[in-house]
């Protein structure tokens, strides 16, 4: 049994981690941390459905140093800029970290500063961090002590675009990502933007051209492409709780059919336990609800020479907690799919 601690347990990524890990055959949750207002509260006070499942009370980050030794691995699900202060301590205590926040997703401090307005004081760890997308960096993940778990939009976008970008099939800078997200991506914090009556029965774009995940997508696709790579990224808040659909567009350098591209995607992701390439139908976010799967389909508009990739994930699972568990499995020598074999809860 691997003993783990969860920091940020009170948020939606945190509770999803708990839900997954409570049924993971090889993991024991030893402690939970949440914000000051939750100090001493049982997690089942915050989430009544956990009553009888996990009776831990929430601690706070000031206790980290005291209790970090009780675990082998720490999950951090924090707003950006906070993990920076704690990751070094955890690593130096000889533990592993999976950071679900943004602090270690850019190996280039300047890019991090551009998008997040913060300076990395401990650049050493920035260099050590592995971007936790197993489909692209499995070998590195297995060997690292520090994983920067990808954001939800980047997971759907990068995995959806990677085969095209890697093979150099699309022109620069033609890549467009029109992404549709459920409201849970905004977290559990109460604000006018997330209340039911403002979101229900309405869809809107937001953070056009300046969503921080755009920086993450560009940075990571530049690595895949081997050259600087800009994208146009427009996220949309969609009236549903879970799920992301990224509809990705690119101009093909030369004519390729949808069938050829589908074959290419199948080959690219061959053997991947959580990637399904659909044929003859478009993916619906419902197909992956509650699962760690990503479903992808590819179409081509031959008249305009445009490739259209549709990529769906559950934003809280493959886009956050599920991928974190997948990374934990890899870092810990467990079967990659351990604890992650859920089938969608359909309908």
The pairing of beta strand 130-131 with beta strand 96-99: unpaired
Q: How far is the CB of 72 from a second copy (least distance, A)?
A: 23
- Residues sharing a CB contact under 8 Å with residue 122, sequence separation 6 or more, in sequence order: 84, 87, 88
Burial degree of 323 (CB within 10 A; 0-12, 13-18, 19+): buried
Q: Are 141 and 327 in contact (CB under 8 A)?
A: yes
197 is catalytic: no
Residue nearer to a second copy on the CB measure, 129 or 294: 294
* CA gap 191, 194 in Å, rounded: 6
Q: What is the largest CA-CA distance in the chain?
A: 63
Residue nearer to a second copy on the CB measure, 130 or 183: 183
Residue nearer to a second copy on the CB measure, 78 or 183: 183
The three-class DSSP label of residue 130 is strand
Residue nearer to a second copy on the CB measure, 1 or 343: 343
Strand ranges of the sheet holding 146-148, from the earlier edge strand across to the other edge: 58-59, 27-33, 2-7, 73-76, 96-99, 146-148, 130-131
Q: How far is the CB of 200 from a second copy (least distance, A)?
A: 5
Residue nearer to a second copy on the CB measure, 67 or 224: 224
The pairing of beta strand 244-251 with beta strand 275-277: unpaired
Token pair listed for 287 = 């197909």
Which residue among the candidates 77, 129, 152, 248 is catalytic per the annotation?
Answer: 152
Closest by CA position to 296, among listed 256, 332, 268, 337? 268
Rg (CA), the chain: 20
Residue nearer to a second copy on the CB measure, 53 or 55: 53
Q: Are 149 and 99 in contact (CB under 8 A)?
A: yes
Burial degree of 144 (CB within 10 A; 0-12, 13-18, 19+): buried
Element (H, E) at 329: helix 322-331
The pairing of beta strand 294-301 with beta strand 58-59: unpaired
Q: How far is the CB of 144 from a second copy (least distance, A)?
A: 29
* CA gap 188, 48 in Å, rounded: 15
Distance of CA 274 to the CA centre of its chain: 14
Q: Are 244 and 319 in contact (CB under 8 A)?
A: yes
Residue nearer to a second copy on the CB measure, 67 or 172: 172
Q: How far is the CB of 208 from a second copy (least distance, A)?
A: 5
Q: How far is the CB of 45 from a second copy (least distance, A)?
A: 9
Q: How far is the CB of 279 from a second copy (least distance, A)?
A: 9
Q: How far is the CB of 140 from a second copy (least distance, A)?
A: 27
User: Where in the sequence numbering do the catalytic residues fall?
Assistant: 152
């Amino acid at each position: 049994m691997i003993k783990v601690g969860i920091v940020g347990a009170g948020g939606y990524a945190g509770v999803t981690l708990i839900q997954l890990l409570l049924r993971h055959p090889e993991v024991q949750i030893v402690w939970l941390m949440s914000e000051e207002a939750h100090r001493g509260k049982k997690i089942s006070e915050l989430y009544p459905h956990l009553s009888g499942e996990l009776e831990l009370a929430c601690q706070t980050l000031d206790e980290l140093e005291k209790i970090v030794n009780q675990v082998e691995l720490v999950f951090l699900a924090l707003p950006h800029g906070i993990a920076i202060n704690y990751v070094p301590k955890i690593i130096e205590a000889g533990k592993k970290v999976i950071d679900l926040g943004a602090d270690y997703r850019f190996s280039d401090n300047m890019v991090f500063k551009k998008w997040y307005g913060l300076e990395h004081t401990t650049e050493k760890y920035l260099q050590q961090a592995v971007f936790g997308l197993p489909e692209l960096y499995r070998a590195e993940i297995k060997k690292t002590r520090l994983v920067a778990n990808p954001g939800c939009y980047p997971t759907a976008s990068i995995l959806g675009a990677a085969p095209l970008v890697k093979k150099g099939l699309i022109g620069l800078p033609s890549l467009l990502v029109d992404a549709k997200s459920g409201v849970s991506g905004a977290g559990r914090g109460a604000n006018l933007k997330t209340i039911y009556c403002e979101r229900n029965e309405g869809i809107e774009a937001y953070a056009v051209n300046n969503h921080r995940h755009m920086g993450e997508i560009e940075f990571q696709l530049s690595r895949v492409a081997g050259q600087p790579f800009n994208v146009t990224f427009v996220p949309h808040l969609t009236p549903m709780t879970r799920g992301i659909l990224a509809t990705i567009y690119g101009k093909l350098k030369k004519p390729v059919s949808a069938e050829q591209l589908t074959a290419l995607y199948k080959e690219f992701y061959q053997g991947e336990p959580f990637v399904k390439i659909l044929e003859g139908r478009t993916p619906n976010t419902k197909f992956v609800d509650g699962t760690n799967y990503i479903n992808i389909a590819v179409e081509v508009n031959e008249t305009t020479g445009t490739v259209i990739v549709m990529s769906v994930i559950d934003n809280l699972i493959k886009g956050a907690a599920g991928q974190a568990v997948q990374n934990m499995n890899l870092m810990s020598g467990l079967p990659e799919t351990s604890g992650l074999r859920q089938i969608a809860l359909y309908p």
